[in-house]
Chain A
């Protein structure tokens, strides 16, 4: 028992050290450095992957709407934070409105929220949408959730590009000039706090109820767990954090547009979850950084002409990357962590093989 305490302390220390390292990196790297970009994006995707894992891995609900909830978060954040009237006029060039007193304004929203409030709002908007999607769908078999969320994400993307909503979404044009973090640490802090909250939720009595539903719905219900209510809690919470992740994604990108929030984005996140291990938070985090680093950086050299003469050329990276992923999904189904968590305790336990207690037949 005491050994466990010490190990937990070590875990906390390691995490603090990691954050200190990031703070240090911030002083050394400029914000265009590839490493800085990888770390930022990795942190953002880690949060989104963990939020998806909460649903798909821990509650056993198969949802494919992550890109949709990210989009909601990203747009909410961008729309409500463009700081000045001039900026808004520049951004909403094609969607100006003439006020009663004859002045021109860009877009509908004529105020800017503080960054923290806007991030929170981003999560809330995603959560509210999730609630209304969940209301009819979560009573049904879980396959319907995948279909409904997938459809929702696609429709949402179309709606965001629709001219009729241009005064809000700027149609198919970019939203930009909103505030964003240049350094790495803020992404890590926000993402870290959110992931910690999800982890706490999972180890609470609610988390145990989620896992019970995942393992056996019929038995969970017979244990007095209200299925619809608990599925709703998991779905709304997951979407909230996907929304927050979307806001961070908007910051990371500096400009935002509906186009990239496709089903492919959802699949990428699903892939991170699978690679990390379905039902492992630390797995999702590790996989997120590995995935982003591979796709954006480590395999870049394959795009250069002549690394292997006649073979490598622009785009070849993606071919290799897909092959690597296929191998992982086919042969390492359980991913990096399986459904276990990375911790000092487990690492030490792995070194000194645990005595397996014999269970008597009585």
Chain B
């Protein structure tokens, strides 16, 4: 195995009395494509939200590239109410807002597409350049940063051509067909220059042909941009085809982990899917 990039350790996310993510531990290594699967409501998205700083976990730790980026333990009301495991194992509190996580090199897409609806395709990606700007409020307002601005635009243009969206650069993002919107959201995430890309159900709502295209596209960006990919997905063909490793969760708990072959033949997984939902 190559270098460990993302390490999630004993993460528990409790909302009120409900333990959503339950003592989740997983690893994603550099260059891999790893999938997180599980029936509807298995709290996969919530796990992503913890890693990206949207929610502060109730207990546990997340490290990225060898550095602890998020750590928490039950505090305040949760001190009493905490119903998870490993109480007392973590004693530090490290929180980061999503923008800080993105700056560290973790980008994401959303299950229900979240494009900037008043903006064109080009502008949507251009927004992602903002976080790396060198200009300040003054130089940006009075166009003293025109060189940087020009460089930003050139970079976006280049990226759009690489992902095949240059033809539609001036279209309103939300006017694109569904598959292209998904692709644009991935392009926008790539524009933040991530080392790890989190995709939340990138194939949701796609027909088989679009799904095949997406499979090729995900491989393409992995190789072209050198990103590691961690994705949530329901389309089993896509998952089995593309993943190096798969984690399966149900009711917030890890129930299996292994290569696609191992998962396909895993009794527990089959039972969880048959018993939980008719998604497969």
Contact of B131 among A200, A211, A223 (CB under 8 A): A223
Which residues of B have CB within 8 Å of A226?
97, 99
Which residues of A have CB within 8 Å of B114?
216, 218-219, 222
Output the least CB separation between B274 and chain A (Å). 34
Most buried by A among B137, B152, B179: B137
Do A224 and B131 touch across chains, with their CB atoms under 8 A apart? yes
The verdict on A99 contacting chain B, using a C-beta distance below 8 Å, is no
Which residues of A have CB within 8 Å of B54?
218
Contact of A204 among B99, B140, B180 (CB under 8 A): B140
* CB-CB under 8 A for A216 and B116, given A224-B99, A224-B192: yes
The verdict on A205 contacting chain B, using a C-beta distance below 8 Å, is yes
- Give the docked Cα–Cα distance between A197 and B118 (Å): 22
Which residues of A have CB within 8 Å of B103?
224
The verdict on B177 contacting chain A, using a C-beta distance below 8 Å, is yes
Do B118 and A339 touch across chains, with their CB atoms under 8 A apart? yes
Tell me the total A-B contact number using a CB cutoff of 8 A.
Answer: 105
- Give the docked Cα–Cα distance between A227 and B171 (Å): 27
Which residues of B have CB within 8 Å of A227?
97, 99
Contact of A208 among B115, B130, B141 (CB under 8 A): B130
* CB-CB under 8 A for A197 and B97, given A208-B130, A209-B130: no
Which residues of B have CB within 8 Å of A206?
130, 137, 140-141
- Give the docked Cα–Cα distance between A224 and B108 (Å): 11
Do B171 and A359 touch across chains, with their CB atoms under 8 A apart? yes
28 interchain pairs (CB within 8 A)?
A: A197-B141, A201-B137, A201-B140, A205-B145, A208-B126, A208-B127, A208-B130, A211-B119, A212-B119, A212-B127, A215-B116, A215-B117, A215-B118, A215-B119, A216-B117, A218-B110, A219-B115, A222-B102, A222-B110, A223-B130, A223-B192, A224-B102, A224-B103, A224-B192, A225-B131, A233-B137, A359-B175, A359-B180
Q: A205-B129, A223-B128, A224-B128 are in contact. List 7 more A-B contacts (CB 8 A).
A: A200-B142, A215-B117, A215-B118, A222-B99, A227-B97, A227-B99, A339-B118
| Chain B residues within CB distance 8 Å of chain A | 52, 54, 97-99, 102-103, 107-108, 110, 114-119, 123, 126-133, 135, 137, 140-143, 145, 149, 152, 168, 171, 175-177, 179-180, 188-189, 192
| Chain A residues within CB distance 8 Å of chain B | 197, 200-201, 204-206, 208-209, 211-212, 214-216, 218-227, 233, 279, 339, 357, 359, 361
